[in-house]
Amino acid sequence: MSTDTQQLTGQSILAGIPSHGNGGEVRGFNPATNQPLEPAFSLIDKDQLALATAAAEDAFDSFRALDPETHASFLETIAANIEAVGTELVARAMEETGLPEARLTGERGRTVNQLRLFATVVRQGDQHGVRIDPALPDRAPMPRVDIRQRKIPLGPVAVFGASNFPLAFSTAGGDTASALAAGCPVIFKAHNAHPGTSEIVGRAITAAITELNLHPGIFSLIYGPGASIGQALVSDPRIKAVGFTGSRSGGTALMATAAARPEPIPVYAEMSSINPVIFFSGALAQDATAHAKAYLGSVVGSSGQLCTAPGLVFVPAGAAGDEFAAALRTETANAAGQTMLTAGIYNSWVQGVQNLGSQPGVELLGRGAEGSSENAPAPSIFSTKVEQLLDNPVLHEEIFGAASLVIRYADAAELATALSKLEGQLTATLQLTESDHEAVAAVLPILERKAGRILVNGWPTGVEVGHAMVHGGPFPATSDTRTTSVGTLAIERFLRPVAYQNIPDALLPAALQRSNPWKLTRRIDGTLKNAGETA
């Protein structure tokens, strides 16, 4: 399947204007063949970057003042434009990532659905977080002044595309969608592994801005090396927050740059997680073979290149645990490698697996076959005991790809000790039956401190986009354990509260005016009032 590359310009989009970069060029590669793709994409320099950030600053006040209906329509128009691209988008993403059509078609659906979900949030207006304490002039011993609070957007946001989700965590993905929903202009730095996919989606966003006659500085798409342009973007004083999905080293480098600015800014980075799965004896006794098959499926899906892929599984000692290990060995032997996203990610996987396999007390439990394409390594499962996990930090490191480590634990106390030594995680998964409830209750407090999402009798490699989802966790899973990058709560990252004391009604923003012209649900004197009520 081939994309009509004549439709791709290979240029950044700086505030609506396709712009040839002055800083060299980069090409996408088909990871299944290691062959370069057309066209070449030019990289901008720091002077060109300044044009984008200046335009974003200029667009901020008009964008954040949009009424809810126009704002929501903007997000919905982006979604419709992405859908209208049709097969061109999926075809190019397949070429650049090696991911299958079904996976990318589903990811495109997730991308447009989350844009529409944020449109419902914007239209409803809950992100304004309005709180009103009306004046009480007769209160004794002291009168109370009128105080009104709302949340306002932070300002222009820098978003970095993720390698493993070329759509849902990329150009119009969760960070961009939530920042735009908050009223923040976005400067999006495309991931160099899928530049064509990024351009196609970037054009869809730019077209939506034109269709609604909005300020073109609301969105820019840039191509450039992360070591220079990425750092310059985070250093730019007009940028007020950062969204990032990627490696721990990349995230911490951006965090250091943001913290060293004269005005430090928040970096919302999703980085590293090994997502432990814990089997309890009751669950494992039911069907150890079925559990082994399901677990391996979660490990190898998308070649293991998911931020929620389970890199660690705790299995009790005993006959059921032995049966699980034997079944996992058999299942792994029958598994074939899938194309990884880039040759660089493949090489990192190879190095990580070699390093893990060379650690004392770690044994190879099962290995599959290499895939028929390039960059398709054999899935590998290793095994060890709790004492090795406690003593060796290498066993806690994420291997991004189809590899996992089985930990055999002797009893509940040993399991609790092991879990308490884990770093912060995006997820923790419990496989249990009713007979395991007492044992589970003993470790739940530990897991609450370790993970952003705890799930039972499922698998972590599926993240629902909704109102209650948390896709975050303590460091190094993310840089800010208080936030989520998936779901409607993600909008809160790009907002801050402002209080207005004794401001005349004519000068108040619409969200706070006594007549409630936007028909918002507001908390008045501590009590939630229905949309349309005045105060």
**What ranges do the domains of the chain cover?**
12-25+37-271+484-492, 277-456
Task: List the structure tokens of 2.
Answer: 């081939």
> What is the average per-residue pLDDT within 213-237?
95
Q: What is the pLDDT of residues 191-219, one digit of tens each?
A: 999 999 999 999 999 999 999 999 999 99
Q: What amino acid is encoded at 514 in this protein?
A: R
Quick one: pLDDT at residue 5?
A: 47
Buried/exposed code over 114-137 (b: 16+ C-beta within 10 A; e: otherwise): bbebbbebbbbbbbbbbbbbeeee
Confidence of residue 2 (pLDDT cuts 50, 70, 90): very low
Q: What amino acid is encoded at 161 in this protein?
A: G
Percent above pLDDT 70 for the chain: 99
Q: What is the pLDDT of residues 281-332, one digit of tens each?
A: 999 998 999 999 999 999 999 999 999 999 999 999 999 999 999 999 999 9
Residues near 153 by beta carbon (within 8 Å), at least 6 away in sequence = 60, 64, 182, 183, 184, 494, 495
How much helix, strand and coil, in percent to the nearest 5, is found in the chain?
45, 20, 40
DSSP bridge partners of 420 = none
Q: What is the 3-state secondary structure (H, E, C) of 218-244?
A: HEEEECCCHHHHHHHHHHCCCCCEEEE
**CA–CA–CA angle 477, 479, 485 (5° rounding):** 75
Statement: residue 1 has pLDDT above 50: no
In CATH, the number for domain 277-456 is 3.40.309.10
Within 308-436, residue ranges assigned H as helices are 319-333, 343-357, 386-391, 412-420
- As a whole number of angstroms, the distance between CA 426 and CA 452 comes to 5
φ, ψ of residue 17 in degrees (nearest 5): -110, 115
Confidence of residue 6 (pLDDT cuts 50, 70, 90): low
DSSP bridge partners of 245 = 270
Q: What is the pLDDT of residues 59-116, one digit of tens each?
A: 999 999 999 999 999 999 999 999 999 899 999 999 999 999 999 999 999 999 999 9
Residues near 468 by beta carbon (within 8 Å), at least 6 away in sequence = 487
Residue from 270, 331, 398, 414 carrying the catalytic annotation: 270
Lowest mean pLDDT among 261-270, 401-410, 525-534: 525-534
- As a whole number of angstroms, the distance between CA 31 and CA 373 comes to 8
> What is the average per-residue pLDDT within 464-492?
96
Is residue 283 within 8 A of residue 291, CB to CB? The reply is: yes
Q: What is the pTM of this model?
A: 0.95
Quick one: pLDDT at residue 136?
A: 96
25 belongs to the catalytic site: no
Mean pLDDT of the chain: 95
184 belongs to the catalytic site: no
Q: What is the pLDDT of residues 118-166, one digit of tens each?
A: 999 999 998 999 999 999 999 999 999 999 999 999 999 999 999 999 9
Lowest mean pLDDT among 24-33, 176-185, 418-427, 524-533: 524-533
- As a whole number of angstroms, the distance between CA 234 and CA 256 comes to 10
Residue from 95, 184, 307, 398 carrying the catalytic annotation: 307
Q: How many CB atoms lie within 10 A of CB 497?
A: 10
CATH class of 12-25+37-271+484-492: alpha beta
DSSP bridge partners of 150 = 498
Q: At what angle do helices 319-333 and 288-300 cross, to 10 degrees?
A: 40
- Of 33, 6, 30, 39, give the one whose Cα is nearest residue 93: 30
Confidence of residue 277 (pLDDT cuts 50, 70, 90): very high
Give, in order, the Cα–Cα distances in Å from 526 to each of 25, 497, 520, 523.
Answer: 56, 16, 15, 6
> What is the average per-residue pLDDT within 348-376?
97
Buried/exposed code over 3-25 (b: 16+ C-beta within 10 A; e: otherwise): beeeebebbbbbbbeebebebee
Which of the 8 DSSP states describes residue 379? P
- As a whole number of angstroms, the distance between CA 15 and CA 60 comes to 12
**CA–CA–CA angle 169, 178, 223 (5° rounding):** 50
